[in-house]
Structure 1
Amino acid sequence: MGKNCVIIGGGIIGLSSAYYLQKAGHQVTVIDQGSMDSGASYVNAGYLTPSHIIPLAAPGVMKQGIKWMFSSKSPLYIKPRINADFLKWTMAFNNSCSEKNVAKAIPAIRDINLLSRDLYSDIKATENFSFQLEKKGLLMLCQSEHMLEEEGHVLALATKEGLPAHLLSAAEVQQKMPDAKLNIKGAAFYECDQHTTPGEFMGELKTLLQQKGVTLLKQEQVVDFDFSGENIRVVKTASGKTIDADEVILATGAWAGSLNKKLKLNILMQAGKGYRINSETETGITLPSILCEAKVAVTPMNGFTRYAGTMEIAGINHDINKARVDAIAEAVPKYFPEVSISEQEKADAQCGLRPVTPDGLPYIGRTSKWKNLTIAAGHAMMGWSLGPATGLLVSEVINGKKPSLDLGVYNPDRKF
């Protein structure tokens, strides 16, 4: 018999969870405080990235982050502030920047990425979707021998994990993109990666869910709950709606703070803001590419090129930091000398908030606090890549099935 499943959060994680839950025969309601047409699920680089096996919390990252605090254009910016949740997160993040954390994370990140990548293909075929899904791999473009050497070390780890990848000379990269002038020393090339145009998939998925009877409540902020023993029984919104719940899925991402307190959860998470610039100018860039020194992603999407980057941990806000947009725009012609980004394209830049856990791994699974609460949040820069896999895992948890992956490493109650 189907359950009443209430999903809080209408981004890629929430909608993917709704997809698999409705397929399993449940009645699903998705509640989102926005209009379900903006945010990180729409402004990301569109990558499906098994190659990204190193978590954000890695040796040296905290030290580098402190140095970058003094630059408004740095790839990673952590704004210092007196806030208890932020300070707890910072201490836990610092503790997680270790070889031990990396060793734990690599197989977990690989496995969930590979599962999710293949699920995108399954969904496209099963539902006859038409969204862009291209299997062209990913280039890690390097301008210095030092960066090329660093990327070579990561590539060696990836190949050891069974991911097809190899180093390319500048001439070999140029052969792959003959119409784009390049200024690089070489690149790591990951054949395992794919890319999409996010807005296309999100649009098709929302339409399908509504056709299948899923209720999408937009512009509704969840403010409270009613409880019965160790279960959440009613979800309440600011407009006065009350939704009965047999199961609750918390997929609110960066906005989870106040709800965590209502639910008495001790979940450490901070919002990491990313930016994107879209350009319809012809560039000759035909392969997804990351500009390694600048930490900027370049994606040839359906009808335009997207430039995306930065991780700005500075609290909950959607303010556009012009210096960070400029940093993305200035990085591009350093690698692609014939490509420029206009002032209007920069003025049209958008941002999205990505939920970041201290160890760089998402929270997926039950908590010990409430018997019918499942957490699906904290995917940081891999939310888009991991959406379908997370949705499948959520449905397996609620259906009482053995999960496709070991959820121990994603345990929302884990200590840092």
Structure 2
Amino acid sequence: MGQRSVIVVGAGMIGLSTAWHLQERGVDVTVIDRTGVAAGSSRGNAGWLSPALTLPLNDPSTLAAGVRATLKSDSPVYLPMRSAPRLAGFLSSFTRNSTPERWERSLRRLVQLSREALGAYAELADHDARLATREAAAVTAAFADERGREHLVDELEQLARIGEKVEYHLLDERSLHDSSPHLGPGLTAGLAITGQRFIDPGQYVQRLADVVAERGGRIITGSAVVRVDATAGGAAVRLDSGRAEQASQVVLANGAWLSRLARPQGVRTRVVAGRGYSFSVPCPESLTAPLYLPEARVACTPLANGRLRVAGMMEFRSPDDPLDPRRITAIERSASPHLPGIDWRDRQEEWVGSRPCTADGLPLLGRTRDEHVYVAGGHGMWGVALGPVSGRSMAELMCGERDEGSLASFDPLR
């Protein structure tokens, strides 16, 4: 087969980060995506690079609202009735993992990646200025009262107890509104987290794809991989066109569609679509860093074009389902009272993306049953935040620079 080659399935943040790091090690790379670059959960993501908030999905508070609440179309966590039977096994496993003890265990393991997340982004920026990120003076979280703030404070203190110190300070009503005059009067307590960064992920991933291509990588879009077959000394991916591409190794990084290809490779841990929604509105001049409205489950990110991305929701349904406009309306209804100065009539760029979620809140990173096929996915809401560090870890593993045991917590065969 000549020079060592790798096919990466998926042109999102994780797939392209893996491709970039493999190129750093002299590997010939081909990236294949069924739709296009950043066409999955990368494009409309909030784009927060915030280790302090990179927490496992199996938070016990997710279940605290009760099962009935998840059946309402305007609920921050929504499970349509027609999806419930198909997801029964996943939801049962998710419930078992949503205890304080299991959540803390997942948190400790996720910290293995999140503590290196910003450094991995800095490494990309050092090699190409187009991949620089934006510094946030502070990520501000705003609440109706101090009691509402307690849960986030508890999570940050839990991070500190396991050795991940987060710099933050509490804001009373006056200091909150002095620092964030765009906020409405119903918010009386806040918390400012420093040392975080952010990006416009769709724009960033496209730049990363450009860099991979400029360094000799092939990027094939509009072709779906239907299966992966073993070959003599490597693997072949079969495309829906009937064509086959061969390589020494294959990395499955195709997001919420990962299980379709990974299950035949022995990966039993299921990845499902936790769909998130976003749109943009005009950004207030005073809002220059990410804003978090935890009680509304809404994240706001200022974009370079003078608009504000408003993102939220966790919707468990098929990744191929169309955008549900009720979810966009629900986000606006939750956020608009807290941002009264925004022209909500100028709503643009409505988007839905399928975030790949696992029941234990941990990604899948490592080798499958086939020694030539690897998996990188299942990051839930944190594929953008953890993409570069995950890509670096995968390249190190595949090139013999990292022991498999160092990624045992994320073993795809667990």
Give the TM-score range, shorter chain.
Answer: over 0.9
Kindly report which structure 2 residues correspond to 1:132-147, keeping only aligned pairs within 5 A, or say none. Answer: 132-147=133-148
- Aligned counterpart, 1:393: 393
- What is the aligned partner in structure 2 of residue 272 from structure 1? 274
Q: Take 1:228 and 1:199, find their aligned partners in 2: how far apart are those partners? A: 35
**Where does residue 316 of structure 2 map in the other structure?**
313
- Which position in structure 2 is the counterpart of 1:155? 156
| 3-state SS, counterpart of residue 124 of structure 1 | helix
> Match of 1:371, as an amino acid?
E
Q: For residue 53 of structure 1, report the CA deviation from its aligned partner.
A: 4.7
* CA–CA distance in structure 2, aligned partners of residues 189 and 282 of structure 1: 19
Decide whether the 8 Å contact of 1:177 with 1:287 is kept in 2. Answer: no
Find the aligned partners of 1:300 and 1:139 in 2 and give their Cα distance. Answer: 13
Q: What displacement does 1:188 show?
A: 2.1
Matching residue of 2:225? 222
**Secondary structure of the equivalent of 2:137?**
coil
Judged with a 3 Å threshold, the aligned counterparts in structure 2 of structure 1 residues 268 and 77 are, in CA distance, closer, same or farther, namely: same
Cα deviation for residue 23 of structure 1 reads: 0.7
Over aligned residues, Cα RMSD in angstroms? Answer: 2.3
Change (3 A) 1:35 1:299: same
* Corresponding residue of 2:329: 326
Name the aligned partner's letter for residue 91 of structure 1.
Answer: S
**Partner SS, residue 188 of structure 1:** strand
Counterpart Cα distance in 1 of 2:174 and 2:142 = 12
**Correspondence for 2:301 among 275, 282, 299:** 299
Structure 2 residue corresponding to 1:345, chosen from 344, 347, 363: 347
Deviation per CA, 1:62-81: give whole Å up to 9, x if none.
35351322321111112344
Paired residue type of 2:221: K
What amino acid does structure 2 have at the position aligned with 1:323? Answer: R
CA shift in 2, pair 1:54/1:205, >3 Å: closer
Which residue is equivalent to 1:377? 377
| Residue 153 of structure 1: how far off its partner (Å) | 1.5
Once the two structures are superposed, the pairs formed by residues 204-223 of structure 1 within 5 Å of their partners are: 204-223=207-226
Q: Is 1:263–2:241 an aligned residue pair?
A: no
Q: Comparing 308-317 with 33-42, which one deviates more in the overlay?
A: 33-42
- Distance in 1, matches of 2:405 and 2:52, equals 18
User: Unpaired segments of 5 or more residues in structure 1?
Assistant: none
Stretches of structure 2 lacking an aligned partner (at least 5 in a row) = none
Residue 221 to residue 146, structure 1, CA distance change in 2 (3 Å): same
Contact 2:266/2:413 (<8 A) preserved: no
Asked whether the 8 Å contact 1:52–1:109 carries over to 2, the reply is: no
Moved more, 319-328 or 252-261: 252-261
How far apart are the structure 2 equivalents of 1:82 and 1:128? Answer: 44
Residues of 1 paired with 2:320 and 2:246: CA distance? Answer: 31
The aligned counterpart of 1:119 is: 120
CA deviations on 1:356-387 (whole Å, 9 max, x unpaired) are 000111111112x1112211010010111000
- 1:252 counterpart residue number: 254
Once the two structures are overlaid, the 10-residue window that deviates more, 193-202 or 38-47, is 193-202
- Distance of 1:193 and 1:402 partners within structure 2: 27
| Alpha-carbon offset, residue 265 of structure 1 | 3.0
- Contact 2:20–2:212 under 8 Å retained in 1: yes
Secondary structure of the 1:370 match is coil
Partner of 1:41: 42
For residues 130 and 393 of structure 1, what CA distance do their matches in structure 2 show?
A: 19
Q: Distance in 2 between matches of 1:405 and 1:392?
A: 16
On the 8 A contact 2:71/2:79 being kept in 1, the answer is no
Q: 1:286 aligns with which of 266, 285, 288?
A: 288
Q: What is the DSSP-based 3-state SS (H/G/I as helix, E as strand, rest coil) of the residue aligned with 2:115? A: helix
Question: Which residue number corresponds to residue 184 of structure 1?
Answer: 187
Spell out the pairing of 1:2-151 with structure 2 (5 A cutoff): 2-64=3-65, 66-81=67-82, 86-129=87-130, 131-151=132-152
Q: When the two structures are superposed, what TM-score results if normalisation uses the length of structure 2?
A: 0.92
Q: Give, in angstroms, the shift of residue 261 of structure 1.
A: 4.1
Q: Secondary structure of the residue that 1:129 maps to in structure 2? A: helix
Which segment is superposed worse, 118-127 or 274-283?
A: 274-283
Task: Assess if the C-alpha contact under 8 Å between 2:71 and 2:81 holds in 1.
Answer: no
Shift of 1:214: 0.5
Partner Cα separation in structure 1 for residue 237 and residue 14 of structure 2: 19
Distance 1:155 1:279 in 2: 30
> Per the alignment, in what secondary structure is the counterpart of residue 349 of structure 1?
strand
Deviation at 1:107, TM superposition (A): 2.6
Greater shift, 88-97 or 19-28, is seen at 88-97
Aligned partners of 2:135 and 2:196 also within 8 Å: no
Q: Once the two structures are superposed, what CA deviation does each residue of 1:240-263 show, in whole Å capped at 9, x if it has no partner? A: 221112111010110123223443
Cα distance, 1:49–1:413 mapped onto 2, change above 3 Å: same
Partner-residue secondary structure (3-state), 1:20? helix
Distance in structure 2 (CA, Å) of the matches to 1:403 and 1:166: 39
Q: Distance in 2 between matches of 1:12 and 1:206?
A: 9
CA apart distance, 1:226: 2.8
Q: 1:14 and 1:373, CA in 2 relative to 1: closer, same or farther beyond 3 A?
A: same
* 8 Å Cα contact 1:42-1:198 kept in structure 2: yes
**2-structure distance, mates of 1:380, 1:312:** 12
Task: Indicate if the aligned counterparts of 1:393 and 1:403 stay in contact, CA closer than 8 A.
Answer: no
Please, what TM-score do these two structures have when normalized by structure 1? 0.92
Amino acid at match of 2:130: F
Stretch moving more, 251-260 or 128-137? 128-137
Name the SS of the counterpart of 1:254 in structure 2: helix
State how far apart, in whole Å, the 2-side matches of 1:403 and 1:171 are: 51
Deviation at 1:412, TM superposition (A): 1.1
- Against the structure 1 CA distance between its residues 386 and 236, is the aligned structure 2 distance closer, same or farther, given a 3 Å change threshold? same
Contact 2:139–2:290 under 8 Å retained in 1: yes
CA contact (8 A) 2:182 2:339 kept: no
Q: Identical aligned pairs, as a percentage?
A: 26
**Which one-letter code corresponds to 1:319 in the other structure?**
P
